[in-house]
C-alpha cells in the first residue's frame, strides 16, 4: 500500500484556489448586496445573496474606482468576476472586476443596437452638424426646472456673459414621462427662434439617463434646426443624444461655457483692438504727413521748370546733331563698302578672269596633247622595234624560207608533213617560189 500524501492546510487551500480559478475564470452573477464593508484601503467587501444562497465578494480598489455604480446595501447588482478562495480563512469568494445595476445589461444591449442603427442611417454624420454661434444673444435651456443643473448653467452665464438672455423650457429628465416631455420641449425650443439650445441633465445610472437614449428623442434631435449642445450626465456618461446633437459637452457647466463668451476676455480683446486701431491711425497719419512734406519739397517755381526744359531741349538738339552726323558718316562708309563689293562682283572683271583662265586652259590642253602624242609615238616606235625582233620577216631577210602547202596553205613544220610529189610554196624575203617535192629524207635518229 502506497503512502498517501499529507498536505498542510495552506497547501490544501492553495490547490483548491488554483483549481477553482482554472474552472471558473470568469462568471456573471446577479444578486443583492449585504454586509457591505468599506475599509480605509479603498477595497469593498460584501455578501451577494438571493433567496436561497449567498457568496462573499471582494471588490478591490483598482476596479472599484472605475465603476459608476453606487454601492449600497440592499441594491441589486450584476457582478462580473472570477471565483477564488481566500487562503487565510479558507473562504470561498467572488473577486469582482465589474459591477452594474441589475437589468443594466439588457439596457446596454438595447443602447448599442440603437446606436448602430442610427449610425448606419447617418444621424451621427459630421455633415449634419451645425456650428455654434460665436456671440449668441438668446439661448433656450431644455432641462428640469429644479436641481443643480439649471443653477449651475445660470451661474456660469451670470459670471461670464450676463447680457445673454436665458429662457427655460422645462421638462422631466427621468422617468416614464420624460421621453415625451423632452420631445415636446425640443420642438417648442426649436420654434422659439433661439440662437442655440442646451439639452442638459445631471449624472446618474444608465437607467436614470435612459430617456436620452430613446429613439424618439434621437430622431427629434436630428430634426432640430437650431444649433444644439447635449450635456447629459457626467464626463464619462455618453448617451445617444450626445451623438446626434451638434456638439457634446462633458457637463452642463461646460456647455454653458461653450456658449458664453467670457465678458472680461471680450473687454480685454476690445481694448487690445482699440489700442491697435489707435496705433494704426497714428502710423497712417504720420505716413501721410511724411508724404505731404515730400510733395511740398518737390513743388518748384514754373520758371525753374521752364529753364530746365530749355536746357534739356538744347541738350537734345546737340545729341540729335551728333547722332545725325554719326549716322551720315556711317551711311557713307557703308556706301563705300557696297561700291567695293559691287566692283568686285562686276561681270566685266569676271569675264576678263574667265578669258585669262580659258587661254591658260587652251595652252595646257595643247601642251598636254603634244606631250601625249609624243609619248604615244615613242611607245609605237618601241613596239615596232619589238615586233621586228620577233617578226618572221626578219628571219626571211637572213635567207630562210617558209614552206606552205599549195592547196591548203598550211605551214609545213616537219618533214613528216610532206610527201613526194606534193606542190609547196616557198616564201622568201623578196617573193615566193613554187616547188615540188621529189623526195623526203627524214632526219637521222640520234
Residue for grid cell 426649436: 190
Q: Taking the C-alpha atoms of 361, 366, 372 and 373 in order, what is their torsion angle to the nearest 10 degrees? A: 170
pTM for this model (two decimals): 0.45
Please say if the pLDDT value at position 102 is more than 50.
Answer: yes
Q: Residue holding cell 455618453?
A: 238
pLDDT at 2 over 60: no
Cell numbers linked to 392: 618572221
Give the mean model confidence (pLDDT) for residues 7-14.
79
pLDDT tens for 294-324 read 777 776 667 767 777 788 888 888 888 888 8
Q: Which three cell numbers stand for residue 375?
A: 609619248
Q: For the chain, what percent of residues have pLDDT higher than 90?
A: 27
Calculate helix-pair angle for 104-121, 215-223, nearest 10 degrees: 30
3 state SS of 8: coil
Question: Edge-to-edge strand order for the sheet containing 138-143?
Answer: 165-170, 138-143, 196-201, 228-232, 247-248
pLDDT at 1 over 60: no
For 360-377, the pLDDT digits (tens) are 888 888 888 888 888 888
Q: What pLDDT is attached to residue 219?
A: 94
Compute φ and ψ for 49, nearest 5 degrees.
-135, 160
Please tell me the predicted confidence (pLDDT) of residue 104. 61
H-state helical runs in 24-83: 61-64
Query: pLDDT value at position 106?
Result: 64
DSSP string, 412-443: --SGGG--TT-EEEEEETTEEEEEE-----PP
Q: DSSP secondary-structure letter at 213? A: G
| Selection from 111, 84, 97, 103 nearest residue 31 by Cα | 103
C-alpha cell at 286: 504720420
Burial category of 201 from C-beta neighbours within 10 Å (exposed 0-12, middle 13-18, buried 19 and up): buried
Q: CA-CA distance, 90 to 442, in Å (whole number)?
A: 165
Say how far apart CA 167 and CA 123 lie, in whole Å.
27
The C-alpha atoms of residue 263 and residue 410 are separated, in whole angstroms, by: 154
Helices (H) and strands (E) in the chain, counts: 12, 13
How crowded is residue 159: how many other Cβ atoms within 10 Å of its Cβ?
14
Strand 44-49 and strand 54-59: the pairing is: antiparallel
Q: Are 105 and 78 in contact (CB under 8 A)?
A: yes
Kind and range of the H or E element at 306?
helix 302-344
Q: Does residue 255 contact residue 231 with C-beta atoms inside 8 Å?
A: yes
Q: What average pLDDT score do residues 143-157 get?
A: 90
DSSP H or E segment with residue 98: strand 91-101
38-92 pLDDT per residue, tens: 999 889 999 999 888 999 999 999 988 887 777 888 788 888 998 888 878 878 8
Calculate what percentage of the chain has a pLDDT beyond 70: 94
Q: Is the pLDDT of residue 249 over 50?
A: yes
Question: Among 203-207, 282-286, 370-374, 425-429, which is the least confidently predicted range?
Answer: 203-207
DSSP at 30 = E
Q: Place 286 in a pLDDT band, splitting at 50, 70 and 90.
A: confident
Is pLDDT at 445 greater than 70 in this prediction? no
- The DSSP bridge partners found for residue 316 are none
Amino acid at each position: 500500500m502506497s503512502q498517501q500524501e499529507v498536505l498542510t492546510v495552506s497547501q490544501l487551500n492553495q490547490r483548491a484556489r488554483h483549481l477553482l480559478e482554472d474552472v471558473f475564470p470568469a462568471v456573471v452573477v446577479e444578486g443583492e448586496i449585504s454586509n457591505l464593508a468599506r475599509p480605509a484601503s479603498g477595497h469593498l467587501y460584501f455578501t451577494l445573496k438571493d433567496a436561497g444562497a449567498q457568496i462573499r465578494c471582494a471588490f478591490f480598489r483598482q476596479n472599484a474606482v472605475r465603476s459608476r455604480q453606487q454601492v449600497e446595501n440592499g441594491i441589486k447588482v450584476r457582478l462580473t468576476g472570477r471565483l477564488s478562495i481566500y487562503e487565510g480563512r479558507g473562504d470561498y469568494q467572488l473577486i469582482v472586476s465589474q459591477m452594474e445595476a441589475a437589468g443594466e445589461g439588457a439596457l446596454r444591449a438595447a443602447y448599442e443596437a440603437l446606436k448602430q442603427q442610427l449610425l448606419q442611417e447617418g444621424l451621427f454624420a459630421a455633415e449634419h452638424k451645425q456650428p455654434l454661434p460665436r456671440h449668441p444673444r438668446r439661448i433656450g435651456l431644455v432641462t428640469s426646472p429644479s436641481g443643480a443643473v439649471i443653477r449651475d448653467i445660470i451661474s456660469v452665464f451670470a459670471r461670464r456673459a450676463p447680457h445673454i438672455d436665458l429662457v427655460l423650457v422645462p421638462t422631466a429628465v427621468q422617468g416614464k414621462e420624460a421621453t415625451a416631455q423632452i420631445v415636446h420641449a425640443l420642438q417648442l425650443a426649436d420654434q422659439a427662434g433661439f440662437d442655440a439650445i442646451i439639452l442638459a441633465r445631471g449624472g446618474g445610472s444608465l437607467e436614470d439617463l435612459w430617456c436620452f437614449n430613446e429613439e424618439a428623442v434621437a430622431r427629434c434631435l436630428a430634426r432640430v434646426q437650431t444649433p444644439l449642445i447635449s450635456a447629459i450626465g457626467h464626463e464619462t456618461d455618453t448617451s445617444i443624444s450626445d451623438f446626434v446633437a451638434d456638439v457634446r459637452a462633458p457637463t452642463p457647466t461646460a456647455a454653458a461655457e461653450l456658449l458664453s463668451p467670457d465678458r472680461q476676455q471680450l473687454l480685454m480683446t476690445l481694448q487690445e483692438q482699440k489700442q491697435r486701431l489707435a496705433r494704426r491711425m497714428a502710423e497712417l497719419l504720420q505716413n501721410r504727413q511724411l508724404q505731404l512734406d515730400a510733395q511740398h519739397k518737390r513743388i518748384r517755381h514754373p520758371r525753374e521748370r521752364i529753364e530746365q526744359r530749355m536746357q534739356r531741349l538744347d541738350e537734345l538738339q546737340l545729341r540729335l546733331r551728333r547722332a545725325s552726323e554719326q549716322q551720315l558718316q556711317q551711311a557713307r562708309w557703308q556706301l563705300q563698302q557696297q561700291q567695293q563689293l559691287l566692283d568686285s562682283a562686276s561681270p566685266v572683271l569676271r569675264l576678263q578672269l574667265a578669258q585669262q583662265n580659258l587661254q591658260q586652259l587652251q595652252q595646257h590642253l595643247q601642251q598636254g596633247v603634244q606631250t601625249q602624242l609624243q609619248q604615244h609615238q615613242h611607245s609605237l616606235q618601241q613596239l615596232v622595234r619589238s615586233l621586228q625582233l620577233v617578226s618572221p620577216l626578219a628571219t626571211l631577210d637572213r635567207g630562210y624560207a617558209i614552206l606552205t602547202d599549195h592547196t591548203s596553205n598550211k605551214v609545213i613544220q616537219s618533214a613528216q608533213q610532206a610527201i613526194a610529189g606534193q606542190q609547196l610554196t616557198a616564201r622568201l624575203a623578196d617573193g615566193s617560189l613554187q616547188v615540188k617535192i621529189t623526195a623526203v629524207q627524214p632526219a637521222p635518229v640520234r
